[in-house]
Amino acid sequence: MENQIKYEETNGFRKDFKRLVKKYRTLKEDLEVVKSNTIELYHLKGIENQSIFPIPGFCNESLQICKIKKFACKALKGRGAMSGIRVIYAFHLSSHVVEFIEIYFKGEQVNENKERINDYLKK
């Protein structure tokens, strides 16, 4: 379990993802790349690549709510890691579980949905 992260999704994330994948066809493949090249490097190997940012006010000693700002989406050609796709997730430190909470395009929504994060934290 030490070198592996288990990935889960909230219903809200699934709904966001389903809507966005219609616009950005490579999103499923791009998310797999982010899992191995960003999330796992950051949380398992401690490699900081300026992509993941813990969201202030939502983290404690057992849980980190993070935002991925550098998300390379092949469907958004020419933009590289600055595609504007944002992913919000919870990382459970003791169990190494990542639960995706929200995914959005910055051009449609400026910031993460804090109400959705609060709802996630209540459950």
The string of DSSP codes covering 62-100 is SEEEEEE--B--TTSTT-TTBS-EEEEEEEETTTTEEEE
**For the chain, which domains are there?**
6-122 (3.30.2310.20)
Residue 1: per-residue pLDDT = 37
Give mean pLDDT, residues 92-121.
94
pLDDT band at 110; cut points 50, 70, 90: confident
**Residue 45: how many CA atoms within 13 Å on its side-chain side?**
10
**pLDDT, averaged across the chain:** 91
pLDDT in tens, 84-99: 899 999 999 999 999 9
User: Collapsing DSSP states into helix, strand and coil, what is residue 112?
Assistant: coil
pLDDT in tens, 57-85: 998 999 999 999 999 889 887 777 778 89
Q: Are 51 and 81 in contact (CB under 8 A)?
A: yes
Res. 51: pLDDT tops 50: yes
pTM, full prediction = 0.92
